[in-house]
Amino acid sequence: MPQRSLSDIVSCVSDYDPEAMTVPQAQQIIHDYVQPIASVERVAIRSALDRTLAADITSTIDVPANDNSAMDGYALRSADIVAGETLVLRIVGSVHAGQQFDGGVAAGECVRIMTGAAMPADCDTVVPQEFTEGRTADTVAIPAGSSISPIRPGDNRRLRGEDLRNGQVALRAGKILRPADIGLLASLGVVEVSVQRRLRVAFFSTGDELRSVGEPLDPGCVYDSNRYTLYGMLTRLGCEIIDMGVVKDDPVAMEAAFRSACEHADAVITSGGVSVGVADYTKQTMTKLGDMLFWKIGMRPGRPMAFGRIASQGRGAYLFGLPGNPVAVMVSFYFFVRDALLRMMGATASPLPRLHATSLSAIRKKPGRTEYQRGILAADSDGEWKVKLTGAQGSGILRSMSDANCIIVLDDAQGDIAAGDKVRVVLFDGLT
């Protein structure tokens, strides 16, 4: 349950005005209000991919466990090296990966060694095979010729524990585990880890005009696309989804849907019906079931938004009431909901990657609100990032999101952009 009430959090925000919220204010309130779900399960490391690690992982071994060779070649004592002179060493043994050479190696001696094999105790350096010549059955010559770099003590030796030391924290709680992380867990011999259980997110679309795919499109109707973009974004974020379909603009149906959603999910996302149209019943239903704020955020697209917590039958969920327009849904998700869901997952979330790029398009922009323009970002032949608009930017034009690989974020103070100006872009393509 939240530790602080929404009104407590809101009272700390200076200039709070639900009719004119700034983007950073709304982001801050959401961030301060949502709490991690803190429910943990043990899973095999493969199943932990894309999940949030729930406890630190401390290595119980040194990785690698021995000093070992980084090359196929000869292990030698660096004290034998004399600068500028060819070194002829007697081969006293051979060691493969997975083996240990137990014998001694005296001055003037060496051991043939394969990549990954443990270093003989007396040796500290490996000379790669391709740097040697004049090999006989039991000697090898290492020329000091200028075509090869001189051998320095410690060359081509990987040190015990250089990847991770016994007792060192390998992965911190809160990390969303990526392929490298589950590989790292395997390298430590870890079989299972504790992860946060998947976040359950219920969503539905509201609107009498909405038809689901597979249904005929009646006059004046549109197909419901928001449930599909939400499905995609939530799935990429690793959520367990509960798709509740389309709910009519009807207070009874609406209440039943909100109740069911918050009884079964950690978070509920709705689209449509949060503005002031005559059929916008979501507001009254949300208020009836919980602690809700209704905002007009100084942004485009996506101005109206509801946020809070609703409850039914003693079970509660955070609620994000997004606007209906398809682009507004996606923008609101990336810039408000995503961070909140990651926080609920217990993830130490990194913000979406952002960079500066030169705008190839002139962009009209009114100061006083944040605008999210859909952009296509590409590097030019000099490797400089250039971004252009996708074309028509209406909040109902989902095509503009489909064509885009980034969002150009123009913050409140920004005025018109001339072609050639630098702009800030946030990437979403290919990311969670």
* N-to-C CA span, the chain: 26
CA distances from residue 90 to 75, 135, 323, 380 in whole angstroms, order as listed: 11, 10, 79, 57
Among 120, 128, 161, 323, binds ligand AMP (CB under 6 A): 323
271 binds, among ligand AMP, Mg ion, none (CB under 5 to 8 A by kind): ligand AMP
Could you tell me the smallest distance in angstroms from the CB atom of residue 7 to ligand AMP? 26
270 binds ligand AMP (CB under 6 A): no
Of 8-16, 142-150, 224-232, 404-412, which part binds ligand AMP (CB under 6 A)? 224-232
Q: Which is nearer to ligand AMP, 73 or 323 (CB)?
A: 323
207 binds Mg ion (CB under 5 A): yes
332 binds ligand AMP (CB under 6 A): no
Coil, strand or helix: which one is 375?
A: strand
Structure tokens at 357: 């790029």
What distance in Å separates the CA atoms of residue 386 and residue 277, rounded to the nearest whole number?
40
Site string for Mg ion, 150-189 (x = CB under 5 A): ----------------------------------------
Among 224, 255, 291, 371, binds ligand AMP (CB under 6 A): 224
371-408 CB burial, b ≥16 within 10 A, e <16:
bbbbbbbeeeeeeebbbbbbeebebebbebbeebbbbb
272 binds Mg ion (CB under 5 A): yes
Residue 161's region, left for phi above 0, alpha for psi from -120 to 50, else beta, is left
Q: Which is nearer to ligand AMP, 319 or 344 (CB)?
A: 319
What distance in Å separates the CA atoms of residue 339 and residue 382, rounded to the nearest whole number?
34
243 binds ligand AMP (CB under 6 A): no
- Give the nearest residue (CB) to ligand AMP: 324
Residue 156's region, left for phi above 0, alpha for psi from -120 to 50, else beta, is left
**Amino acid at residue number 270:** T
Among 50, 122, 209, 412, binds ligand AMP (CB under 6 A): 209
Longest CA–CA separation in the chain, Å: 94
Of 88-96, 216-224, 265-273, 287-295, which part binds Mg ion (CB under 5 A)? 265-273
Could you tell me the smallest distance in angstroms from the CB atom of residue 290 to Mg ion? 21
Structure tokens at 258: 């909100």
Phi, psi of 411 (to 5 degrees): -80, 180
226 binds ligand AMP (CB under 6 A): yes
271 binds ligand AMP (CB under 6 A): yes
What distance in Å separates the CA atoms of residue 224 and residue 213, rounded to the nearest whole number?
7
Q: Which is nearer to Mg ion, 249 or 266 (CB)?
A: 249
207 binds ligand AMP (CB under 6 A): yes
Q: Which is nearer to Mg ion, 177 or 322 (CB)?
A: 322
Phi, psi of 394 (to 5 degrees): -55, 150
Binding site for ligand AMP (CB under 6 A): 205, 207, 209-210, 222, 224-226, 271-273, 275, 277, 323-326, 396
Binding site for Mg ion (CB under 5 A): 207, 272-273, 324
